[in-house]
């Protein structure tokens, strides 16, 4: 029981911290919005005309006038005009919102909150009302409303930085995460941008929460697209969690155990040659440079394929790359080359991650090229993973060659 109570308190504290962040963010956004509304009133209408038309007989002009008065600090004047409009048009969400905020500023917080919640029920498309109700929901520990209102803002593309922060923060709080999973199940227009944010901005301390979200999505029988998984897997790579990234790739893309142990993966290009050009591709398999499409082509065979390397590509152009995880020791890379390897306009680079240091390569006995055979050493430090890259070299006597059966031993 004590452990359960402690866990409950921990959850409340986490949501409380989120509430503080949401509160500050909502307050800041409202300040920007209020200033913008005041400027809009000045630019779009003559104040003298607003003063004349801003009456219950002209509710739209009246609500704009009340809004500008509130932004200018005249809460009493704003409340008076907004109240007169609401009396004849109770569904005017802008006037209701101005009345609620003005009532709060006049010191009647509970009454203002009741009015704002009523405005929120009417004004799903009114951005300042959504920001206020988000703040209110966070303070009241109402996780369902936090996600629903953030969803409403995101569907309209309002305050993307704000909604992004809410969605990413939700990953570490179970109730918010459950609401996020339900929203994603409806395939909202912001789903793609959410997974893009996961790729670019997911904090290191949110990876456990992200994987919990994937599990909840499956509980809701949601399909998870390959590129959605890869956005997260690539983020793990960026964070340096290479083994976890490779394991998730193998599990969720049904990589056979026998192939999983190959280095490099798909060294015969059998899979890469059959893969559609627009297929979602992991860094742990061959990633082809789209800028070389048409120049670099596969030659399919009965069981495997070879990759043709042209002679005219500019030096330093990446043709293909793959992420590997090799333990520290010495290795030799070999490749079958159809043609004269000494005249090939390409060679292999191996770069350590996370350091980014390029490893020295040695020509083995009897070899005079950097394509058919090279040796290298993986150090113990700062080389948890390695990026193998096939890259073009400038050669005046370059000839077209094809490679296949790439192996590292």
> Once rounded to an integer, what is the mean pLDDT over residues 346-372?
88
34 pLDDT more than 60: no
| Structure confidence by residue, pLDDT tens digits, 252-283 | 999 887 777 789 999 999 999 999 988 999 99
Tokens linked to 16 = 């409380």
315 pLDDT more than 80: yes
Q: Which helix (H) or strand (E) holds 363?
A: none
Q: What is the DSSP letter of 173?
A: S
> What is the model's pLDDT at position 300?
84
The reported pTM is 0.79
Three-state DSSP at 174 gives helix
Closest CA to 162 of 127, 187, 212: 127
- Beta partners for residue 179, in sequence order: none
Backbone angles phi, psi at 348, to 5 degrees: -100, 140
Tokens linked to 238 = 């960026």
Q: How far apart are CA 247 and CA 224, in angstroms?
A: 17
Higher pLDDT, 42 or 378: 378
How long is the chain?
Answer: 409
Q: How far apart are CA 185 and CA 189, in angstroms?
A: 11
| Structure confidence by residue, pLDDT tens digits, 191-250 | 999 999 999 999 999 999 999 999 999 888 889 999 999 999 999 999 999 999 999 999
Q: How far apart are CA 155 and CA 137, in angstroms?
A: 19
* Beta strands, E only, 56-107: none
> What is the model's pLDDT at position 127?
84
Q: How far apart are CA 398 and CA 316, in angstroms?
A: 14
118 pLDDT more than 70: yes
| Structure confidence by residue, pLDDT tens digits, 177-194 | 999 999 999 999 999 999
């Amino acid at each position: 029981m004590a452990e359960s109570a402690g866990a409950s308190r921990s959850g409340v504290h986490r949501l409380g911290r989120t509430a503080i962040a949401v509160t500050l963010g909502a307050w800041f956004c409202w300040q920007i919005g209020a200033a913008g509304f005041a400027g809009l009133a000045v630019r779009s209408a003559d104040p003298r005309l607003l003063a004349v038309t801003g009456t219950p007989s002209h509710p739209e002009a009246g609500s704009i006038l009340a809004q500008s008065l509130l932004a200018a600090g005249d809460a009493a004047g704003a409340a008076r005009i907004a109240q007169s409009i609401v009396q004849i048009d109770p569904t005017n969400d802008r006037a209701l919102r101005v009345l609620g905020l003005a009532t709060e500023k006049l010191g009647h917080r509970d009454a203002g909150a009741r009015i704002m919640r009523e405005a929120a029920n009417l004004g799903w498309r009114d951005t300042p009302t959504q920001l206020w109700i988000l703040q209110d929901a966070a303070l009241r520990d109402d996780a369902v409303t936090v996600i629903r209102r953030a969803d409403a803002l995101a569907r309209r593309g309002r305050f993307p930085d704000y909604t992004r922060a809410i969605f990413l923060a939700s990953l570490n709080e179970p109730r918010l995460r459950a609401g996020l999973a339900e929203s994603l199940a409806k395939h909202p227009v912001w789903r793609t941008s959410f997974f893009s944010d996961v790729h670019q901005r997911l904090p290191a301390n949110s990876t456990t929460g992200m994987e919990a979200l994937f599990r909840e999505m499956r509980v809701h029988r949601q399909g998870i697209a390959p590129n959605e998984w890869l956005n997260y897997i690539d983020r793990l790579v960026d964070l340096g969690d290479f083994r976890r990234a490779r394991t998730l790739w193998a599990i969720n893309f049904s990589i056979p155990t026998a192939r999983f142990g190959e280095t490099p993966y798909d060294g015969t290009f059998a899979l890469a040659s059959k893969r559609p050009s627009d297929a979602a591709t992991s860094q742990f398999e061959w990633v082809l440079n789209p800028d070389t499409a048409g120049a670099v082509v596969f030659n399919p065979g009965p069981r495997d394929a070879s990759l043709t390397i042209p002679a005219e590509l500019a030096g330093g152009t990446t043709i293909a790359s793959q992420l590997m995880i090799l333990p520290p020791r010495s290795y030799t890379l070999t490749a079958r080359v159809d043609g004269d390897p000494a005249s090939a306009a390409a060679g292999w680079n191996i770069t350590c991650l996370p350091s980014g240091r390029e490893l020295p390569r040695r020509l083995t006995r009897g070899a005079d090229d950097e394509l058919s055979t090279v040796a290298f050493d993986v150090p113990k430090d700062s080389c948890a993973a390695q990026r193998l890259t096939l890259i073009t070299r400038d050669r005046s006597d370059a000839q077209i060659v094809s490679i296949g059966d790439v192996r590292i031993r």
